[in-house]
Structure 1
Amino acid sequence: MNALSPSHASRPQGHLPVQSGRVGVLIVNLGTPEATDYWSMRRYLAEFLSDRRVIEAPRWLWWLILNLFILPRRPAAKRRDYDSIWNRERNESPLKTFTRSQAEKLALALAGDGRIEVDWGMRYGQPAIAARLAALQAKGCDRILLVPLYPQYCAATTATVADKAFEALQAMRWQPTLRVAAPWYDDPAYIDALARSTRASLAALDFEPEVLLASFHGIPRAYFDRGDPYYCHCAKTTRLLRAALGLDEERLRMTFQSRFGRAEWLKPYTAETVKALASQGVKRVAVLTPGFVADCLETLEEIGVENAGYFKAGGGERFAALPCLNDGEDGMRVIETVVRRELAGWI
C-alpha cells in the first residue's frame, strides 16, 4: 500500500513539495517588550503607538508628539513598571508566559483531531504574526483560524490583529484561507468562567469587599462616537456577570483604565472611581479585569500596585486585584469553546 495520503499520491511528477491539508489556529495577544532595558521599551512603544488603529490623530502631528516628547521619556517610566512584574525565571513578561501556556494547553485539548496545529503570536513585538502564519503554512495549514484574544471587540485591538494578518497574506503567493474568530463578550461559557473565577478569588480573600469594580481597558470617547462597539460589549459583559453573581449596579461597577493623553476617554475612570470610593468611606474594594484574558502590566501593576496605592492613600484599608482567567481550567475552557465554535465545518 502506498504510504502517501491520496492527495499526495495523486500529485503529478515534479509537483512542488508542499504540505497541505492541515488546519492552523493562531492565538494572538497585544504584545510585550522583549526586555526591560530602555531600547527594548522604546522599540515596543514605537511599534505600538505608531499603529493608526491605536492613535487616530493626524499623522504629521502625532509623529512630532511621539518622537519629540513620548519616546524620549516614556520608556524609562514603563521600564520601571515592567521590571516590577517581570518573569525572572523565563526573562519575559507575564503576558508572554501566559499566552505561550494557553497555546500549549489548547494544542493538547485539540490533539484528538490529529490535523490541527496551534501557535501563538503578538500584535506588537515577538513572536510576530507574519512569522507565525508562515510557520503554520509551512506545516501544511491551508486553513488558519486567527483568534484575537479580546473578548470585547475594539478596532484598536481586534481589528488591528486582523490588519496585520491580512498584511502578511498580501506577501504570499499561495494564501491560506483565513478566518477571524468573533468576539465572545456575551458567550455563556465566558460569563460562567468569569463568575466561577470571581467567586473563587473572593473566597480566597481574608476580607469581604464592599464594592467590586469590573475594570476594562479604556479607549478615547471619540472612537466610541465614531461607531466602535467596544463600550457596548463591555457593558453587556458586566450586566451578564452581575446577573450571574447576583449583584446589583452598586455592588459591581463598570470602569475603564489605562487612560493616555488629555482627551476624554470612556468613563467612569477606574483610578478616579477608586479615589472617590476611598473618600466616601469605603474601606474594602476588589477589582476584576474581564477584558484581559491574561494578567499583564495593566492588571498586575496598574491595578495591583498603582490603583491599590490610590485607594490606600485616600483612606481605604483593603484592596485586591483579582487574577485574570489566564491558563487555568476556566480560562482554557473559554478559549477552547471559542476555537471549536469557529472551526465548525473545518474539523
Structure 2
Amino acid sequence: MPDTRFASTARVPDKAPDGHPAIAEGKTGVLLVNLGTPDGTDYWSMRRYLSEFLSDRRVIELNPLLWQPILQGPILTFRPSKSGEAYKKVWMEEGSPLLVYTRRQAEKLAARIGSDKVLVDFAMNYGNPSIASKVERLTREGCTRIAVLALYPQYSATTTASVYDRTFRAIEKLRWQPAVRTAQPFHDHPDYIEALATSIREHIQGLDFTPDRVLMSYHGIPKSYFEQGDPYHCHCHKTTRLVAEKLGWDKGFAMTTFQSRFGPTEWLQPYTDKTLEALPGEGVKKLVVVSPAFISDCLETLEEISILGHEQFTEAGGTHYSVVPCLNDSERAIDLLETLMKRDLAGWVEQD
C-alpha cells in the first residue's frame, strides 16, 4: 500500500461553512521519485511489477502489438521467478532496498525543509507507492504547487522522462491542477560530484588494498536510443570525467561501462560484465566499482554488481574487489537533495 507517513498532520475540514466540500490550498509539495519496486519477491508480485515496468513505451519502444504478446507470454512466464530469487538476496526487513532508502531520504529531507506549508513525500514510477496516489494526496492536502525530482543523476528518456510523463498523466485527471516543476538532471552538479567523489575517496581509504583501476558502471540503454538523441551516454561520461578530475586521477584510471542490458539488441558499450571478465587478463587484479547512475542501492547494485560482479571478476583471476555504496540516506545525500530542491523551490518558498 502507498506510504503516507510524510502527510501533513493538519486536518483538512470535510466541509466549508456553507456546507460545500472544503478546499485546502496554498501549500507546496516536494515529490521524490525513483524507479520502482515490487511489493514482494513472490511470483505474482514480481509479475505485476515487471509487466508495468516493461510495458512503459519509454522503456521498450517496440510497437505494443508486437511486444505485448512476447512480454505477457514467455517473458512474464519465466522472468518473475528468476527476478524474485535475485531480490531475495538483497531484500531488507522493511522491503526492497530502493523503497527503504527512498523513504528514508524523504523522511530526512522533510526534517530539513518540511513545514506546515511544505510537504515532502516520495513515490515510485512503477509499483507502490505510485506517483498518481501521491499527487492525489498532495493536492488533497492543499498543495497548489508540486516540485518533482526524478532521482536519476543522468537524464534518459527511459527514466527521467518516464517519471515526468506519469506525473503529468496523474495531473491530467485532476479538476484543479497544481502548478508543477520538474527538475533538471544533476549529473554535473558540483554538489553531486563532490558527494560522489568524497564517498569514493573515503571508501578507498578504508580498504586494505590499492585498486589498479576504478570501474564506473552505469545502467545501460539500447544503443539506438542514444543514436536517436538520448543524452544519457554523454551525461554518464561527463560524470566519470568530473569525478576523476575532482579526485586527481590519471587519465584512464576510471573506466565507464554499462550494465543490465536486456534482450538481443545492442546496448551502450563497453558492457560491465564483459569488462569484469576481461580486466584480470589485462593485469587489473584489484578493482573498485562505483554505480553513479543510482543514488540509492538497489537490485542492480547489490545483486548484479556486488554479488554477480564479484563472482565474474574473481573467477576471471581478480584478487581484490570492492563496491562503493550508493549515497543512500547519508548526510551528504540529504545535503545534495536539499540543495537541489531549494533550487527548484525558488520563488515558491522563502529560502533561509
> Does the pair score TM above 0.5?
yes
Is the contact between residue 275 and residue 310 of structure 1 (CA under 8 Å) also seen in structure 2? yes
Deviation at 1:13, TM superposition (A): 5.0
Aligned residue in 2 for 1:3: none
Matched, 1:143 2:145: yes
Matched, 1:35 2:37: no
In 2, Cα distance between the equivalents of 1:232 and 1:83?
34
Aligned residue in 1 for 2:68: 63
Q: TM-score, normalised by structure 2?
A: 0.93
Matched, 1:93 2:132: no
In 1, Cα distance between the equivalents of 2:44 and 2:53?
14
Aligned AA (1:38): Y
Matched, 1:165 2:164: no
Percent of residue pairs identical? 51
Where 1:319 maps in the other structure, the secondary structure is strand
Matched, 1:210 2:212: yes
In 1, Cα distance between the equivalents of 2:175 and 2:211?
56
Matched, 1:76 2:109: no
1:116-151: per-residue Cα shift (whole Å, max 9, x none)? 000100000000000001111111110000110011
Aligned residue in 2 for 1:19: 24
Where 1:227 maps in the other structure, the secondary structure is coil
1:256-277: per-residue Cα shift (whole Å, max 9, x none)? 1101111111111111111110
Where 2:138 maps in the other structure, the secondary structure is helix
Is the contact between residue 19 and residue 138 of structure 1 (CA under 8 Å) also seen in structure 2? yes
Q: TM-score, normalised by structure 1?
A: 0.94
Structure 2 unaligned runs (5+)? 1-12
In 1, Cα distance between the equivalents of 2:46 and 2:64?
22
Aligned residue in 1 for 2:53: 48
Aligned residue in 2 for 1:177: 179
Alignment counterpart, residue 343 of structure 1, candidates 320, 342, 345:
345
1:310-336: per-residue Cα shift (whole Å, max 9, x none)? 101101111111100111011111111
In 1, Cα distance between the equivalents of 2:84 and 2:18?
57
In 2, Cα distance between the equivalents of 1:184 and 1:142?
25
Deviation at 1:12, TM superposition (A): 9.0
1:181-228: per-residue Cα shift (whole Å, max 9, x none)? 111111100000011111111112221111101111000000000010
Deviation at 1:341, TM superposition (A): 0.4
1:259-302: per-residue Cα shift (whole Å, max 9, x none)? 11111111111111111102223211010011101000000000
The correspondence of residues 111-150 of structure 1 with structure 2, limited to 5 A, is: 111=114, 114-150=116-152
Aligned residue in 1 for 2:7: none
Count of matched residue pairs: 335
Aligned residue in 1 for 2:157: 155
In 1, Cα distance between the equivalents of 2:63 and 2:249?
43
Aligned AA (2:279): L
In 2, Cα distance between the equivalents of 1:81 and 1:279?
28
In 1, Cα distance between the equivalents of 2:85 and 2:280?
27
Structure 1 segments (4+ residues) deviating >2 Å = 11-16
Aligned residue in 1 for 2:236: 234
In 2, Cα distance between the equivalents of 1:175 and 1:229?
30
Aligned residue in 2 for 1:5: none
In 1, Cα distance between the equivalents of 2:252 and 2:238?
16
Matched, 1:103 2:125: no
Aligned AA (2:61): E
Where 1:122 maps in the other structure, the secondary structure is strand
Deviation at 1:16, TM superposition (A): 4.2
1:50-74: per-residue Cα shift (whole Å, max 9, x none)? 0000001122221122122210011
Aligned residue in 1 for 2:290: 288
Structure 1 unaligned runs (5+)? 1-7
Aligned AA (2:172): Q
Is the contact between residue 36 and residue 82 of structure 1 (CA under 8 Å) also seen in structure 2? yes
